[in-house]
Structure 1
Amino acid sequence: MRQRTHKRGRFTNKTVAVVAALALGGGGAAIVAANASAHGDRGGSGRNTTVSARAGTIQCPDVGQKLSHVPAKARPEVDKNLAELDNQVATAYQRMNRQRGSSQAVLSRLNDERSRTLDDIGSAMGGDNTQLRGMTDCTWQEVATTTGGKGRFGRPGGGRGGQGGDQQGGDGQGGDGQGGEGANEVPGNAGGQAGNGPSQDDFVDITQVRPNVQEPPRARKNGSTGTFTSDCGVGDPALRNSDNVIVAPGVGNGAHHMHDYVGNDSNSAFADNRTFEQAGTSCANGDKSTYYWPVLRAQDGTNEADADQLGGGQEGNVGTILTPKSSTLEFRGNPRSKVTAMPKFLRIITGDAKAFTNGDANANASWSCTGFEDRQLTDKYPLCPEGSSVTRTFDFQSCWDGKNIDSANHRDHVAFAAEDGSCPDGFQAIPQLVNTITYDVPANTPYAVDGFPEQLHKPITDHDDFINVMPDDLMNKAVDCINRGKQCG
């Protein structure tokens, strides 16, 4: 079982110089709310120049994650308005960016727009606004930033500080245990274009991170130890879009960032279950499930095809989209029980696209490098040595409530198993999807995952989505294989 870490390490001097030069020398405007000052190294120690500034972002209550019940007939209207809330935040962030600082007028306008949209959501749910109380006001969250030397890292949110590094809402106490220097944030975009991240502090030398992965629990007599793998390729660039059919069905650009897709070849905002059933698939075994995740981009200053489009450059997602080197889709068992078949059209999201402002409670994705898989990071991008590839790993929830294929907040119908493999009361074990993606990132080139513009391209916002559309006989084969301790694919 993987244990989350937030360790900071030491940059190689060459990579620090590349990241800092790109971040400070680019044409994009960071949101800066105070003057910057530079200080050269006095002691001849080879440390990098320090630049201090105050940057920030917009933090809003995440309405979608707070909803516990939405009547079925109200869901289309609610989904549309939830997407509108995201659009309002993205637009407000862009206004802030143009003004180079926080503006009460922009926030006031945003909060007025949110208030009207929340009223529309309440009306769609029959006038019940009890779930929406206290969710109107967004705030400006400042982030103190530095580059080079030593410093503290601050960011909005209210996570669990003090677990060995940079936690949301924490002050980085205990985070200097892995080399300490060279992991401090700079304002702006490392590729010099978008002005909304990533920052130097978002990267860490993987060789300076201590191993942190725990051994999985030993399987009990009734456990299920097999695996089932779907070979679905690495995605067709022609299928990329900035929709999200789970969170924002029927709304184009509902994600505000670009997704890669494997498996089902008809995934868009306007797909429904019938669309998925009738579609083709990239999976060699006939698996029509859809697997999708935000693209990864090299922050190399080049323009992608979507440089002038929503979901792309218009919303701060810039640079060359990197095609994965590989994607491994593996379904695993449970150490203390057999698994039961997933229902068709079950929807699962792992990770949180808004974890930078929401806090890290749902930040489940992790980053590492090939050859260093015993070192997993949640809120840092790894810098890999020559010959090693960047990896993204997504562990999906493996317990199901036995009733629903989705829930109002897209989370309550599934859950993670405890460390010993036990599921919460009323939940049953299902095959656990683990998706591992690898990339060959160009040497000395910063990179970042696509995201909502106000999330500043932080690695902690990584996430992955899955809809089960396996034919019944294939799902039954997978379950039988896993429960009998075999390795199939």
Structure 2
Amino acid sequence: MGRNTRKRRSPLAVRAIAASAALAIGGGGLVWANFYASAHEENSSPNTTKAATAQVATISCPDVGQKLTNVPGKARGEVDGELATLDAQITAAYQRLATTRDAQARDASFVQNSILGPLKNNRSVIIDRIKLEISRAGGSTPSSLDGLSSCTGTPADQTNAGQNNGGQNNGGTASPAPSPSASASAGGQQGGGQQTGNGGQAGNGPLASDFVDITKVKANVPRKAQTRAGGSTGTFTTSCGVNANKKFNTDNVIVAPGVTNGAHHLHDYVGNQSNDAFANNDTFAAAKTTCANQGDKSTYYWPVVRIQNGTQDFDQNNDGGGKEGNVGQIQQVKQAQIKFVGSAKSQVVAMPKFLRIITGDAKTTTNGLANANAHWSCTGFENKVQLTQQYPICPRGSTVVRTFAFQSCWDGVNIDSANHRTHVAFADAQGNCANGFKAIPQLTMRLVYGFRAPTLQNGQIKNAFAVDGFPEQLHKAATDHDDFINVFDDNLMNKMVNCINKGQRCK
């Protein structure tokens, strides 16, 4: 995974990022633009106001990258470049959407004829290139790629519909079902019906309906799989701090290597201190680490949480920060507990060095909940209530907790896959890995915060908190995700495996 110096094909589109563009990794995503200001500008006529409120606020494009599960290794560099070009095209379309409000108000067909139509044509060219590059490398492309060039526009008042769609699977194997939406089990303070638009300090979420009083949610945590004979009951804990060094960046070296601001939102980092867009395996191996045990140079990173209280932070004028709708005061964790656990059904094998795992999906608003793995709760409630699609409002004396349980089954061969998912999988409800997959130590993380709970008043949320994300994803709770690259040295990894398999508690 060397340094990517490949030039983008559309430098103009790349420059558009600086103008509040929203990039969606992998060529898929909803692209958001706030039109409410134009509806109330000075000198706006009633007719203009009416037209503006009906204008397209998002552009929804199918996620091409998630369909590419069998890209030959020697084609991946070129394919990644083409996916980056798809992202640049969406960026250019978003920029045009945001700068042609008057034309859209005058001409109901403007978006289709001048934005969506050209975008479809441009995407078709790149998708054809992807197919050609895969074919040249001896691979075969899924036929579904042929239908992924078209994008659709959605008015602002419809962008919050359909958030709860999606099945639950991961790479063809079973994964933990997301916690039921609190809106289905809670009796009360939703208030979202009294709020218009996309909400949030930057106009792109969250909404009042994205929060729920956790004391009014029914218990929904399923029982863990029962450990059978031959299972592995030990644990291994690594202590890597809480990002006291304030290492932040908006890169994503797993999904977008070599692309600055590839994540389009800010990450906290613990462990490896050399993680950026241009890091490779050699970089990781030579890096310093915040972990107490220097044999663990793994990188653990997750999107920050911010309080939307009207203030800003250091990145208010930066790409990935305020320019892309990630606003408010960054809240660093008070505790970051990192623990590896065993399998209910079998012994675990060592993770391969430089194994990459992403858990959750930053784009559930686009992709549905198939890969969602967000778990939000409050201290004192974690064993009773876990939320996927809403943020908790915690009672006095309790505070917000995010937890992650990573995929614990590995295909035995690959440290990554073309869509960054199919080389690992979740065990089923009984703890079994699918045929051909091996149980590995399961990474679990628990992030504890200390900020004051938000309040709901007259259907409005005050001091809302939200996870950083693509602005088009509307800061939904379900978009939470976490990333890991294994850089344990061999001796420490073997210690971890032996400890877990022998039922011990080790550090």
Whether TM exceeds 0.5 here: the answer is: yes
One-letter amino acid matched to 2:90: V
Q: Is the 8 A contact 1:34 1:53 kept in 2?
A: no
Determine helix, strand or coil for the equivalent of 2:293.
Answer: coil
TM-score, normalised via structure 1 length: 0.81
Mind listing any 5+ residue stretches in structure 1 that lack a counterpart? 1-27, 37-51, 147-152, 162-171
How far is the alpha carbon of 1:53 from its aligned partner? 9.2
Determine helix, strand or coil for the equivalent of 2:359.
Answer: strand
Aligned to 1:392: 402
The CA distance in 2 between the partners of 1:94 and 1:425, in whole Å, is 46
Aligned to 2:146: 133
How far is the alpha carbon of 1:183 from its aligned partner? 4.1
The CA distance in 2 between the partners of 1:156 and 1:202, in whole Å, is 11
Aligned to 1:13: none
Q: Are residue 406 (structure 1) and residue 416 (structure 2) matched?
A: yes
Structure with the largest fraction of helix: 2
The CA distance in 1 between the partners of 2:164 and 2:85, in whole Å, is 22
Q: Are residue 285 (structure 1) and residue 293 (structure 2) matched?
A: yes
2:282 aligned residue (274, 285, 288):
274
1:263 aligned residue (247, 271, 282):
271
The CA distance in 2 between the partners of 1:174 and 1:447, in whole Å, is 17
Within a 5 Å distance, the mapping from 1:239-254 to structure 2 comes to 239-254=247-262
Aligned to 1:345: 354
Q: Are residue 225 (structure 1) and residue 233 (structure 2) matched?
A: yes
Aligned to 1:363: 372
Change (3 A) 1:452 1:295: same
Change (3 A) 1:55 1:360: farther
Aligned to 2:116: 107
The CA distance in 1 between the partners of 2:469 and 2:120, in whole Å, is 22
Q: Is the 8 A contact 2:240 2:271 kept in 1?
A: yes
**More displaced 10-residue stretch of structure 1: 101-110 or 299-308:** 101-110
The CA distance in 1 between the partners of 2:447 and 2:89, in whole Å, is 32
How far is the alpha carbon of 1:55 from its aligned partner? 8.1
1:120 aligned residue (118, 129, 142):
129
TM-score, normalised via structure 2 length: 0.78
Give the superposed CA RMSD: 2.9
Q: Are residue 206 (structure 1) and residue 206 (structure 2) matched?
A: no
Aligned to 1:481: 499
How far is the alpha carbon of 1:63 from its aligned partner? 1.1
Determine helix, strand or coil for the equivalent of 2:249.
Answer: coil
Aligned to 1:7: none
The CA distance in 2 between the partners of 1:31 and 1:94, in whole Å, is 13
Change (3 A) 1:99 1:436: farther
Q: Is the 8 A contact 1:351 1:365 kept in 2?
A: yes
Deviation readout 1:177-206 (Å, 9 max, x if unpaired): 4214534263456543x2111111111111
How far is the alpha carbon of 1:78 from its aligned partner? 1.6
Within a 5 Å distance, the mapping from 1:48-447 to structure 2 comes to 57-93=58-94, 95-97=96-98, 103-104=111-112, 105-126=114-135, 130=142, 132-142=145-155, 144=157, 154-155=161-162, 158-160=165-167, 175-184=183-192, 186-188=195-197, 190-192=199-201, 194-236=202-244, 238-286=246-294, 287-373=296-382, 374-444=384-454, 445-447=463-465
**More displaced 10-residue stretch of structure 1: 299-308 or 241-250:** 299-308
The CA distance in 2 between the partners of 1:214 and 1:175, in whole Å, is 18
Count of paired positions: 430
Determine helix, strand or coil for the equivalent of 2:483.
Answer: strand
Change (3 A) 1:379 1:35: farther
Aligned to 2:471: 453
Deviation readout 1:228-282 (Å, 9 max, x if unpaired): 1110111246421111111111111111111111110000110000000000100
The CA distance in 2 between the partners of 1:404 and 1:129, in whole Å, is 20
Q: Is the 8 A contact 1:378 1:459 kept in 2?
A: yes
The CA distance in 2 between the partners of 1:370 and 1:173, in whole Å, is 19
The CA distance in 1 between the partners of 2:498 and 2:360, in whole Å, is 28
Q: Is the 8 A contact 1:92 1:106 kept in 2?
A: yes
How far is the alpha carbon of 1:81 from its aligned partner? 2.5
The CA distance in 2 between the partners of 1:262 and 1:196, in whole Å, is 28
Q: Is the 8 A contact 2:254 2:356 kept in 1?
A: yes
Aligned to 1:149: none
The CA distance in 2 between the partners of 1:174 and 1:294, in whole Å, is 23
One-letter amino acid matched to 1:438: V
How far is the alpha carbon of 1:87 from its aligned partner? 3.9
Determine helix, strand or coil for the equivalent of 1:154.
Answer: coil
One-letter amino acid matched to 2:220: N
Change (3 A) 1:197 1:242: same
Q: Is the 8 A contact 1:90 1:452 kept in 2?
A: no
One-letter amino acid matched to 2:162: R
Change (3 A) 1:257 1:337: same
Mind listing any 5+ residue stretches in structure 2 that lack a counterpart? 1-31, 41-52, 169-179, 455-462
